[in-house]
Amino acid sequence: MEIEKIIMSFVPVIVFLLIYNRYFLSGGSVTKYVTSLLTGVTYALFLLLAGSFIADLMFIVNPVVRGFVMAGLLEKSGAVIAIYVLLKRFPGFSISEGIITAMFFGLGFSCVENFFYALELHSSVIYIRMIFSVPLHITTCGIAGCYLGIAKLSWSSGRVFRFRLKSLVIPLLFHGMFDAALMKGEAFSYIAAPVLILSVVYLEIILARSQSFFSEKKLKVMGINFEEWRLKDRQPRYDRWVKRYTGILKSSPVPFFNWNPGIIKFTIVVALVILAGTGMSLYRELMLTHQLVLAREEAVAVFVLFPLCIALVLIISGAVNPLFFVKSLLSLPIISDVEIIKNGNVVEYLGTNDISTGNCFLQTAEPLGPGKEISLRFKLGDLQSGIVKGRVMWENHVIRHEAFGSIVRFNTITTGFYIFYIKYFFLRYWKGAIFLLRLPGFDALKGFFYKPLVMTDDEDFFPAGSIVFREGDIGDRFFLIKKGRIIFFKNMDGENIITVNTAVAGEFFGELAALGDNKTRNATAICAEDTLLAVASKDNLDILIANNPDFAMDLIETLTNRVVLSEKVFFESMKEIEKTKHEKENLTHIAVMLVLLGLGFDPGRRGLDMNVDAKKIMNLIRHMDDLAAAQLSSLFIKRQTILMDGRDPRYDEDFIFSINEIFANVSDEDPED
């Protein structure tokens, strides 16, 4: 009978070893796993020796308190310390290896614990502990290994503390609830099964997620820490989420669950469900043949709930889709505007989906320069941070399947930024809850995703002096300035140019012509410096106005200010034109006098010395340039010289030749033509 008990005690160990063999046999250091298994065995032996003494001290304490303190806190705190030491000993590890290492620790611990349970089967509750505690130890130790692994790779002390705390608290909650339910007994024993299922689901999620985590070695090669890698890793998923939500991307999201059991696993699941259905009959048979006496709750837990739990574990095992954590996400992106400040001026306008107290990811279209120090300011609706100084740690503007942009690690953070971040943090989770639960106010969230930066279709670079569009062109697109400056001007009477407005980084333009059908541009846009523009179609402008009330109000305000400024510039330009016109008239008078004097006009008598066609004279005056003025001045001097010599200019061949030369290329057409 003792041999049967011992064999039965190892059945749950073998079952869960087979369930998770895909992880145990997936590679990694065998030495690490064997060391972890033996460490779990050693810790279990130590705890069995010390546990009886502590149990005597806490016998009179409430069962729930005993479950959390004696079984939960004592076992898990020691396990967390042991796993922490194990992970610290092995450099260059990955988080997935850390989870498997911790699961081997739990496997070793449960082997020893179940062996001693088999030797002490004088209490019926031991049966429940023996079959349920094995998966519970494996899952809770795996969870602890995950968070200790993340803490090992983390950079900031706050995150290290937070993940180490989670490595203890979350396993403690699962283990404490399990032991408290068993110590309470009776109907509370049923709680053990759902606690086990929840712990398995939790472990499956972190196992699937950890497969895409970069190892310590890869992070060192990239020159970034784990927080910065997670920041980079989230960006493509944020972009896909926003584009899918706004209708830009039509593909379906990657499913969270992807269960492909195969015929063998499916057959085992069906067999376990049938076994659970006949479990009580099997128990009555064993009670008669082997004098196995259990309380009803315990019999149900062992012969009904346990087979169902194993069936559910088989269904859950491998059902969480690792690709979900590569292509999709659970958290909600909140898009914030970012201004790059230089010498107190905004030199570039960007966006970000992700801000933390230590870093952010900027959606840059061109490199800022690794190691470059920059100053940033964040804006989200009415919220605005102070100026934050940081350093560019990583960039990618070449590989399309990776996050496109720049990671900035903050060096100097102001109080204003911390206030902004706290509001941003609560806004993110508050709006996320409203969105995921479809609570009242759900429709108002559209404004967080329908933003000019998101709705743009493409980006174009324009060198300084390039014309974006001309006055009179059809307006089928609008633009957002990400970097640079635009000048707008109008042509007046085909000759004069009036500068009517300017736009800088962060401002949009071209939207007025894009609002209607076949509307033309009312000004020409030229780049005052090298400029990067985000370009969007008129359809996207209609979507923005319909789904983002703040954008619509900003658009109205911008258009109003633009009209007022344009009128002001127009009237000032008109004054300048009038002034220029008067100056031109004065110059025309001078030109007339030059022609008349050069041709021999004498105020004391009527007529000219030379008989020149009047139309040619008018055309010469109208189109006079510096060369013509110089020739006429020379002609006047020559005429005066001839007169001083007592000769008549009308008969001087050189003088006549000069006149013919001046008027040779002058048109004799009517000037009005």
Q: How many CA atoms lie within 13 A of 447 on its CB side?
A: 14
Distances in Å between the Cα of 224 and the Cα atoms of 220, 229, 406, 568 are: 7, 7, 12, 52
What band does 111 get if pLDDT is binned at 50, 70 and 90? Answer: confident
What is the structure's pLDDT at 57?
Answer: 52
Phi-psi region of 331 (alpha: psi -120 to 50; beta: other; left: phi over 0): beta
Concatenated DSSP letters of 415-459: HHHHHHHHHHHHHHHHHHHHHHHT-TTSGGGGGGT--HHHH--EE
Query: What is the pTM (predicted TM-score) of this model?
Result: 0.68
What is the structure's pLDDT at 504?
Answer: 84
Residue 405 has pLDDT above 50, yes or no: yes
Packing angle between helix 95-119 and helix 192-210, nearest 10 degrees?
150
What is the structure's pLDDT at 517?
Answer: 64
Distances in Å between the Cα of 79 and the Cα atoms of 34, 41, 87, 450 are: 16, 11, 12, 48
The token pair at 628 is 């013509």
Residue 605 has pLDDT above 50, yes or no: no
Residue corresponding to tokens 């315990």? 298
What is the structure's pLDDT at 601?
Answer: 47
User: How do residues 639-661 score in pLDDT, each as one tens digit?
Assistant: 777 777 778 777 777 777 777 77
C-alpha span between 500 and 514 (Å, rounded): 19
CB 29 within 8 A of CB 96: no
Mean pLDDT estimate for the chain: 77
The token pair at 664 is 């040779």
Which of the two residues, 640 and 42, has the higher pLDDT score? 42
Please tell me the least confidently modeled range out of 129-138, 569-578, 635-644: 569-578
Cβ atoms < 10 Å from Cβ of 613: 11
What band does 590 get if pLDDT is binned at 50, 70 and 90? Answer: low
User: How do residues 257-273 score in pLDDT, each as one tens digit?
Assistant: 887 777 888 888 889 88
What is the structure's pLDDT at 1?
Answer: 47
Q: Residues near 112 by Cβ (< 8 Å), separated by ≥ 6?
A: 40, 41, 44, 45, 48
C-alpha span between 149 and 95 (Å, rounded): 5
336-448 and 452-572: same fold?
Answer: no
Please tell me the least confidently modeled range out of 266-270, 341-345, 602-606: 602-606
Among candidate residues 125, 74, 60, 68, the one with its CA nearest the CA of residue 297: 125
What is the structure's pLDDT at 169?
Answer: 92
What band does 145 get if pLDDT is binned at 50, 70 and 90? Answer: very high
Domains of the chain by residue range? 2-213, 336-448, 452-572, 599-663
99, containing H or E segment: helix 95-119
User: How do residues 607-616 score in pLDDT, each as one tens digit?
Assistant: 445 556 666 6
- CATH code 2.60.120.10 for 452-572: yes
C-alpha span between 318 and 201 (Å, rounded): 10
Phi-psi region of 438 (alpha: psi -120 to 50; beta: other; left: phi over 0): left
Cβ atoms < 10 Å from Cβ of 132: 24
Residue 277 has pLDDT above 90, yes or no: no
What is the structure's pLDDT at 24?
Answer: 65
Which of the two residues, 564 and 216, has the higher pLDDT score? 216
The token pair at 124 is 């019926």
What is the structure's pLDDT at 373?
Answer: 93
Residue 528 has pLDDT above 50, yes or no: yes
Residue 315 has pLDDT above 70, yes or no: yes
The token pair at 47 is 């705890």
Please tell me the least confidently modeled range out of 92-101, 295-304, 372-381, 500-509: 295-304
Determine the residue type at 341.
I
CATH number of 336-448: 2.40.10.220
